[in-house]
Chain A
């Protein structure tokens, strides 16, 4: 039996102090100097820099767990707690401060973020939040944890698979051998929707791909070196492919267009073992286009929404719904098992990967989380031509790669948790398992239609 896939995470410190959700307001002017300072007793060490407990000094906000003990116990009432404006300004309505800070935590530690007892948020919302996964197999604590004896396989195959194997009269297989690329987790790294000068950032992403064993889409493939095995080279569709560059690569990507079939044939002629992925912008036409491409011999379809998981044409369709549509069209025409479907855009959390696979994708491609792993604040100042507040362009590729590795370690652990809770042992089997999910709109229709009549 092959060794288990396991991402070995190790803490990678932040370059900048963590941005905490709230901040302490400590006023020295009102201090009674009672020397029974509640700050001395803070079990999280928020005030550890204060050598004299009689003096209120700067607090290490990011250590604060918001227990409010100091605020309630200070006899002089000199302490207040307030929301941190820098935290509130992180990301946007989709890439919320909670998501961004959760990604930072995982990139720093490689651990699953635990929010503590109780859940204070809403139980449904737009996008992925209107989909709940089946956890019916949680009947007992796992015998020895997610990394124990119960092996859950998260690897997936990218490439075109034969519908059936054919043999000649002598029993020899006549079906040509399929060229497939196996990646150990159903995630590939995609091009970034925005970033400062990308040189060092791209190197960090490739390093992250190398350390996790997956692939990263890049427009400039290294000519040699260890990273070459982890590249999906995005080819320019205006020039003929560079034979030297393509030969020996595992996978290349071309943009969808009228000549896409001919370009795929050209690439297969250069190197028959190379897997060709077709990059498609997600739209209402995607299901029919996917069917057409699959019938024409496409190997991998890479469907992309924008950074917020929506279609770029402004229809507002969310990625999970469109992927479900593509999957069902391919099932209907009997080609689903032959073609590989990768979907990306708006994947912000590990659970989104599992949900997207349940909707019918074989794997997910991620982009913004790679930047956030390197402490990006998702403020998109770089896209507006404003200097990056954390100078992401100067990032050390080794440090960035380790942060991405840690993030993937956290996501891999969460995938194992989700699969284990569903009683599944393979990520491949999760594909299209819509029966293991509940959709808020379906439940709403089911429950309220009896009260309000037809509800759509």
Chain B
């Protein structure tokens, strides 16, 4: 894979999106090694703005939060809350003078879908 994309990258995602996430994310882990880190969550709302900022502090060049499609959250509003937290984190990053695009939210088009597909699409979009 072309690694011209800014790395390292951290991907937080709701495991409802991809129940077989441990298997599906391995090809990308093999290709990018320690440059990509996956963090499966019980629900994307498990992540807080503070957690996202901590990832910025750790040196990740891209932090992605993948949520379930609208209306498909197991906890009804978890994905909405997750997006709010991501927005808050972006705002804080801007305030401290960094690029808010460090943090991105991706709404999955459907569930279940392979996390590998989502991340590869994201990498392609970023490059183009």
Contacts and interface: CB of A to CB of B under 8 A. Distances in A.
Interface of A: 22-23, 25, 27-29, 58, 80, 82-86, 88-89, 379, 381, 384-387
Contacts of B29: 381, 386-387
B67 to A, nearest CB: 14
Contact of B43 (A25, A28, A29, A86): A25
Contact of B42 (A85, A381, A384, A386): A85
**Chain B, interface SS category:** helix
Interface of B: 15, 21-22, 26, 29-30, 33-34, 40-43, 45-46, 48, 51, 74-75, 78, 81, 84
B15 A23 contact: no
A86 B40 contact: yes
Contact of B84 (A23, A29, A88, A385): A29
B23 to A, nearest CB: 9
Contacts of A25: 42-43, 45-46, 75, 78
A25 B84 CA distance: 16
B33 A85 contact: no
Nearest to A56: B48
Contacts of B40: 85-86, 89
A95 to B, nearest CB: 13
B39 to A, nearest CB: 9
A399 B48 CA distance: 34
20 contacts: A22-B42, A23-B41, A25-B42, A25-B45, A25-B46, A27-B45, A27-B81, A28-B48, A80-B75, A82-B75, A85-B15, A85-B22, A85-B41, A89-B21, A89-B22, A379-B22, A381-B29, A384-B26, A386-B30, A387-B33
A83 B21 CA distance: 14
A167 to B, nearest CB: 65
Contacts of A88: 15
Contacts of A386: 26, 29-30, 33
Nearest to B21: A85
B80 to A, nearest CB: 9
Contacts of B81: 27, 29
